[in-house]
Structure 1
């Protein structure tokens, strides 16, 4: 097994949204590199299952709801009680596939808090903590191919991921030449519970053909992070779509997104622990 260590001990990573999907796959990817883990999400039982699959490293669990104000600060304090965090994985997030005016404000407020505000607060805690360290450190923020354009029926989600992408790229450039690197990964459709939880649509063949497994995305993300990449879009179809959209008018690109993603389902599932 390859390892990723410093002169202190094994590196420690904080992974948010680690109970399933990309977050769980990233946790396993890091464990295979010998990185100790602090895993967080809302569902303790799911976190326990992920922790059991991360062999050969120390795994701590902190249950937290980052959709609540000030939860990020409390999480950071709990995560760093056992030692410094060398790798921050900002993966937690959710979205819904529905017209903006068909969803209540409480759900939107939670989305803004989770996808943006808590991410920024954790990033600030991490950056502040690394100021006096000369050891390598990595931040990995999970955005989406939706960060490259407006997406009808996912308007707020796509906008939040555009924020994550721009924020991450700005931080990457600010810290160029320092021990801290910041990487943004922009997956397209991924085989996770996200689609069912979001009330996903009747996707076109293009959307289905571009869908990747969580393990594929996680591996691409960690390799990009370790190589200090700025922004990475995993998958050929996804690379082509994010590159090609720059040659379209923004209005036409939005119409294309509507055709690719299809129509929302009749019922939007209630929010569950993640």
Structure 2
């Protein structure tokens, strides 16, 4: 029996909550989970986009919940609605956004939303999930999507990178707390990924290094689910991304920050409104 069939037999009928599931990595992870026979609860702000993703998740039950995790208290409301259909066995904290601008060029409302979505709502859902699993002896998985930016400061993405450093440290701490229990926590740190993130963030004039290391959402999703199934603590998809995260250990933090500036290039002239995702 193949590994895929083994995992499919083990996970068939389980339920996963995937945030930011309307496109990109979240949508790709939803399809990977569907291939394992996992029933899905997909959430994001755009119902039409969620319905399109749901149509590609064959052979499983798919529920759609629209909501905005950039708003206070949205996480608890989402969780209550998600568990109304049954327990959640897998939590994929993927929702997040960033912008590519100097910190002082962006209004506070966008920063507050970033902090709420990338950190506060993620922690709130993690708390709901961990508390709910205390009454269960079955296996459970949490996957939190961070970034290679979690390994260093990133000028023009200062707050975004800092939020992902938080996600990484939080996830790794949870992983170690739950070592030896049925609950695993995996942090995924993608580098550049072929999604709408770059257009929505007003991305820069990227160098050849950044372009060469960019991976597809499907590549990242496969790496994330493999790591989840193996109970890994942290995964950085892509060899070049692994090497770049490793290399920052051997240079000063100031030098790493300067390199990031060269690799990412200059911001675009206009910062688009935040995309709905």
**Aligned residue for 2:185?**
182
- Identify the match of residue 104 of structure 2 among 98, 101, 105: 101
**Aligned residue for 2:119?**
116
- Identify the match of residue 156 of structure 1 among 155, 159, 162: 159
Q: Deviations over 1:217-264 (max 9, x none)?
A: 000000000100000000011000000011010000000000000000
Q: Deviations over 1:122-148 (max 9, x none)?
A: 000000000021100000000000000
**Aligned residue for 2:230?**
227
Q: TM-score, normalised by structure 1?
A: 0.98
Equivalence map 1:1-274=2 (5 Å): 2=5, 3-5=8-10, 10-274=13-277
Q: For residues 166 and 25 of structure 1, what CA distance do their matches in structure 2 show? A: 24
CA contact (8 A) 1:210 1:238 kept: yes
Q: For residues 124 and 4 of structure 1, what CA distance do their matches in structure 2 show? A: 28
Q: For residues 214 and 64 of structure 1, what CA distance do their matches in structure 2 show? A: 23
Q: TM-score, normalised by structure 2?
A: 0.97
Aligned residues: 272
Q: For residues 146 and 273 of structure 1, what CA distance do their matches in structure 2 show? A: 22
Q: For residues 4 and 138 of structure 1, what CA distance do their matches in structure 2 show? A: 16
CA contact (8 A) 1:5 1:35 kept: no
Q: For residues 123 and 275 of structure 2, what CA distance do their matches in structure 1 show? A: 23
Q: For residues 48 and 112 of structure 2, what CA distance do their matches in structure 1 show? A: 26
Q: For residues 14 and 150 of structure 1, what CA distance do their matches in structure 2 show? A: 30
